[in-house]
């Protein structure tokens, strides 16, 4: 993704749509269906007015109900109880969103993002990552960002690398190995900035690019947080996250100041899954959060890979579970990832078997192989004895021996006996 | 498999068919197609006569050609060259088999097998393992055996456990773990008696049954050798193989005195695959012989499992390769094997997730979970603040809090505030 000197100011300025979505991003949790219906029925600016105290009109209620009924698949002549349900959904939604709207000051949030060298991106912006469209109803209202600039999304391939917060020494090793190999091939590595595999992946991506400068052509890594971009959580990763905020890119759908919570981590995982062409799970326990990222990716039709490990390690339970379920492909090499995604960037793929595994009998037919294996290692053998040991007839055997001779694998001595070539 | 006091003598005595097949077993390598056609066209006794010097009649040539042409799919009005080819196949076969027939003395081989407490089994015997029928053209001519008796094949489930000759400490551990667990559930463990995983599996199966006596009801383990049953190869496993020969069962398709060779190991692997309902690969390099057993099993429609390991270990390349190819199911627990094969013997299966992985929020709906997670760990919180943090409306929130209260997961204090239950 080419980093661009895109708008230091909130791209497109503080339009009504942008301010409204910024405000809504504080009040509405991801996955709130009623909010999605209201957005379609009323538009973001009017929905934001309702949250600031305006009351919905009869017509707006009706518009909302139409969207809700269409989405729920309720027939126009449907059950009264179902129609009442959709009618109530807007009121229940407002009840959820209003308490937070009291404390929502989107212009201030946008100023705060600007203060930390960022902004607020909405779907109509040219720099919106189109990869998120795949989320449909679960697309975020907007993206708070922080970094030197916004990339030209999709220009270069990206891979999400996720895993446990508590990797084994093996997990640490393979995170570094995979990330380093793939980042040096030009892949942008997406992760969640958490301790453990996430932060190792970010760091290894940076190291592989050996940049540290802002004027590199492409992003090495993108971090998607579950709290505000001004709160570099967890603080133990503060130094690295600060570096990412300065030189790479940090994203969040929650406004500045937001606290990460368990459900926000889970919701955030869908963004990590959607932003990349594929997701690689390194290590994780049976119910690791990284499995939720993998499941999101699989549901979105994205490729998912998982790295196996010892069955005696609980940290490999997650990857093994994904592979057993058929949700993930077993991956042992960076080349497996590149091949699965059809990428072959900055270098040639070698997917053949290891050189060390080639055998002298490769390429021989069965008769030739049996004769060659029946030749003693250090002495010559009489031809009839050789044919008997190999269980090969004279006619087929003599011509196979000549073929072995031409390949330099067998030698006939003057007395007619044969030895290895 | 119930061990039986089946014929100490060659079962059914030294019939013409048995003697002929015993003789042929010395002359013909497995997979020799012409031998299979000749057997069908002429019968074992007559084929054996030909190998002892009799010449085939014109009619016998013609019978052989008919079988060969049918098997090769040659039309009766086919190309002359194809018909000539089948005509030549019998002569080429005789040329292969005759040199060995000179030294073949089947009655002596049968006496030798009897000497070591064994015999020679042919497909018409009631104790023939019917599981081998699946091999079709690759069914062995007969089985040389050694042990206290022959089992009632198929009465109890069996599993082949195979792997590298040079296991890692991890491989040693998991071979013992899987074999012990599965053998103690009553599975008969089939393997090849080689050093490494094979011998560990045999030994662990014996240990799991804790028998050592001949009067146990079922066999713990069966060993299929690639040489004669009188040659307990490799000699470094001599003590264990001798024990198996005395207390369990050793099989081979090669007559007493036969040397194992590389192609005989490979051919032997098809018997290991066919004898069991499934094959489990523990460890093996990229081109381990155990992969050939797995591929045979997969081709025969038998279940195949493979145990993953660290991607940094070359000993796990084989299992990973099988899983990536789709030839094997990834297996992490003995229960995976039992479930895959629909076995649930001597005990109840627990295929649920590990107890340690259960979470307090399991079984809660999303609103309940968000409220419970938003409750501080050690102090009470005012209800409106709680609803705001959780992003939950008053109506839906208050009823969810009541449900949490009834589950004992939340408590309301006298001042109306809430805390964890």
* CB–CB contact B263 A370 (8 Å): yes
**Residues in chain A within 8 Å Cβ distance of B323:** 308, 323, 330
3-state DSSP call for residue B4? strand
**CB-based burial, B109-135: b 16+ in 10 Å, e otherwise:** bbebbbebbbbbbbbebebbbebbebb
pLDDT at A13: 58
Which residues, listed in sequence order, are joined to residue A189 by a DSSP beta bridge? A159, A221
* Confidence (pLDDT) at B212: 47
Structure tokens belonging to residue B384:
């409106």
Nearest CA in chain B to A374: B261
Whether the Cβ atoms of residue B179 and residue B334 lie closer than 8 Å to each other: no
The answer to whether A167 touches A283, Cβ cutoff 8 Å, is yes
From CA A49, how far away is CA A40, in angstroms rounded? Answer: 15
Query: How far does B171 lie from chain A, in Å, by closest CA?
Result: 10
Question: What is the reported pLDDT for A288?
Answer: 86
Is the CB of A310 less than 8 angstroms away from the CB of B311? no
How many whole angstroms separate alpha carbon B5 and alpha carbon B149? 5
* Minimum CA–CA partner of A394 in chain B: B95
Query: Is there a contact between A329 and B332 if contact means CB atoms under 8 Å apart?
Result: no
Residues of chain B neighbouring A392 (CB-CB closer than 8 A) = 96
A-chain residues near B373 (CB < 8 A): 261-263
Whether residue B395 and residue A95 make contact (CB cut-off 8 A), yes or no, is: yes
ipTM of the complex: 0.85
CB contact under 8 A, B336 and A317: no
Q: Are B256 and B229 in contact (CB under 8 A)?
A: yes
| Contact (CB<8Å) A287/B357 | yes
Give the tokens for residue A346: 């900055």
For B121-161, the pLDDT digits (tens) are 999 999 999 999 999 989 999 999 999 999 888 777 899 99
**A324: nearest CA partner in chain B:** B330
Q: Which residues of B touch A329 (CB under 8 A)?
A: 324
Question: Residue B267: beta bridge partners?
Answer: none
Asked if the Cβ–Cβ distance from B330 to A324 is below 8 Å, we say yes
B211 to chain A nearest CA, in Å? Answer: 28
Residues of chain B with pLDDT under 70: 1-14, 76-80, 82-83, 211-217, 344-357
Neighbours of B355 (CB within 10 A): 7
> Any idea which residue has 């990552």 for tokens?
A129
- Is residue A110 reached through a cis peptide bond, with omega within 30 degrees of 0 on the bond before it? no
**Closest-CA distance of chain B to residue A264, Å:** 10
User: What integer pLDDT is reported at residue B210 of this predicted model?
Assistant: 73
Q: How far is A214 from chain B (nearest CA, A)?
A: 35
Question: What pLDDT, on the 0 to 100 scale, is given for residue A218?
Answer: 81
Task: For residue A400, list chain B residues with Cβ-Cβ distance below 8 A.
Answer: none
CB-CB contact of A21 with A46 (8 Å)? no
- What distance in Å separates residue B353's CA from the closest CA in chain A? 8
Cβ–Cβ gap A174/B312 under 8 Å? yes
Beta bridge partners of B411: B419
Q: What are the φ and ψ backbone dihedral angles of A410, each rounded to 5 degrees?
A: -145, 150
Q: For residue A354, give the nearest of B32, B286, B388 by CB distance.
A: B286
Judged by CB atoms closer than 8 Å, whether chains meet at B311 and A307 is answered as yes
**CA separation (Å) from A386 to A417, B34, B89, B132, B343?**
9, 21, 21, 31, 48
- CA-nearest of B238, B126, B136 to B193 is B238
Closest partner residue to A311 among B332, B387, B393, by Cβ? B332
> Strand ranges (DSSP E) for B325-409?
329-330
CB atoms within 10 A of CB B70: 13
Residues of A in contact with B333 (CB under 8 A): 311
* CB pair distance less than 8 Å for A96 and B393: yes
The answer for residues whose C-beta is within 8 angstroms of residue B62's C-beta and 6 or more apart is: none
Q: How far apart are CA A221 and CA A202, in angstroms?
A: 6
Mutate to test the interface with A, among B24, B171, B389, B393 (most CBs of A within 10 A): B393
Smallest CA–CA distance from A359 into chain B, residue: B287
Counting every residue, how long is chain B? 421
Q: How far apart are CA A10 and CA A124, in angstroms?
A: 13
Q: Which residue has the tokens 């890692």?
A: B168
Q: What is the CA radius of gyration of chain A?
A: 30
Query: A94 preceded by cis ω (within 30°)?
Result: no
Cβ pair A96:B353 closer than 8 A? no
CA distance A192 to A212: 20
- pLDDT tens track of chain A, all 421 residues? 333 434 345 445 569 999 999 999 999 999 899 999 999 999 999 999 999 988 889 999 889 988 988 888 777 666 667 667 777 888 889 989 998 998 899 999 999 999 999 999 999 999 999 999 999 989 999 999 999 999 888 777 899 999 999 999 999 999 999 999 999 988 999 999 999 999 999 999 999 987 544 444 589 999 999 999 999 999 999 999 999 999 999 999 999 999 999 899 999 999 999 999 999 999 999 988 899 999 999 999 999 999 999 999 999 999 999 999 999 999 999 999 999 988 764 454 455 555 566 788 888 988 999 999 899 888 999 998 999 889 898 888 999 999 999 999 999 999 989 999 8
Q: Tell me the two tokens of residue A246.
A: 């300065």
Q: What is the pLDDT of residue B86?
A: 74
Radius of gyration of chain B (CA): 30
What domains are defined for chain B?
15-108 (no CATH), 156-340 (3.40.50.450), 366-420 (1.10.10.10)
Option in B174, B317, B389 nearest A311 (CB): B174
From the CA of A286, how many Å to the nearest CA of chain B? 7
Total residues belonging to chain A: 421
Query: Which of A25, A91, A263, A365 best probes binding to B when mutated, by most B CB atoms within 10 angstroms?
Result: A263
**DSSP-assigned letters across all residues of B102-145:** TT--HHHHHHHHHHTTEEEE-TTSTTS-GGGGGGGGG--S-EEE
Q: Which of B96, B309, B317 sits opposite A391 (nearest CB)?
A: B96
């Amino acid at each position: 993704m080419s980093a661009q000197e895109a708008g230091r100011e909130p791209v497109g300025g503080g339009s009504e749509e942008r301010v409204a979505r910024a405000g809504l991003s504080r009040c509405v949790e991801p996955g709130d269906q009623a909010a999605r219906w209201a957005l379609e029925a009323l538009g973001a600016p009017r929905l934001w007015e309702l949250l600031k105290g305006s009351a919905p009109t009869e017509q707006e209620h009706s518009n909302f109900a139409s969207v809700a009924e269409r989405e729920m698949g309720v027939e126009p002549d449907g059950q009264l109880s179902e129609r009442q349900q959709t009618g109530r959904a807007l009121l229940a939604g407002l009840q959820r969103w209003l308490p937070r709207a009291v404390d929502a000051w989107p212009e201030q949030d946008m100023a705060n993002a600007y203060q930390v060298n960022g902004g607020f991106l909405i779907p109509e912006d040219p720099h919106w990552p189109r990869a998120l469209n795949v989320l449909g109803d679960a697309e975020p209202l907007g993206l708070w960002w922080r970094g030197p600039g916004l990339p030209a999304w999709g220009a270069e391939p990206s891979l999400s690398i996720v895993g446990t917060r508590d990797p084994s020494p093996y997990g640490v090793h393979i995170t570094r190995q995979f990330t380093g190999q793939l980042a040096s091939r030009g892949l942008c590595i997406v992760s969640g900035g958490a301790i453990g595999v996430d932060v190792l992946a970010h760091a290894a991506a940076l190291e592989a690019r050996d940049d540290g400068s802002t004027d590199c052509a492409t992003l090495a890594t993108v971090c998607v947080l579950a709290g505000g971009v001004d709160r570099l959580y967890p603080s133990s990763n503060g130094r690295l996250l600060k570096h990412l905020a300065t030189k790479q890119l940090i994203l969040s759908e929650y406004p500045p100041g937001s606290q990460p919570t368990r459900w926000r981590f889970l919701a955030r995982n869908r963004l990590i899954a959607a932003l990349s062409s594929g997701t690689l799970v390194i290590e994780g326990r049976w119910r690791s959060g990284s499995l939720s990222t993998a499941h999101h990716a699989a549901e979105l039709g994205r490729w998912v890979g998982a790295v196996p490990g010892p069955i005696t390690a609980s940290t490999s339970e997650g990857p093994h579970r994904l592979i057993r379920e058929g949700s993930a492909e077993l991956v042992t090499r960076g080349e497996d990832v590149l091949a699965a995604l059809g990428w072959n960037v900055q270098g040639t793929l070698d997917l053949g078997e290891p050189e060390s595994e080639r055998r002298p009998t490769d390429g021989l037919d069965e008769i030739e192989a049996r004769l060659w294996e029946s030749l003693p290692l250090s002495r010559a053998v009489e031809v009839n004895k050789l044919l008997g040991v190999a269980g090969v007839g004279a006619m087929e055997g003599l011509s196979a021996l000549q073929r072995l001779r031409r390949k330099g694998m067998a030698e006939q001595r003057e007395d007619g006996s044969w030895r290895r070539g």
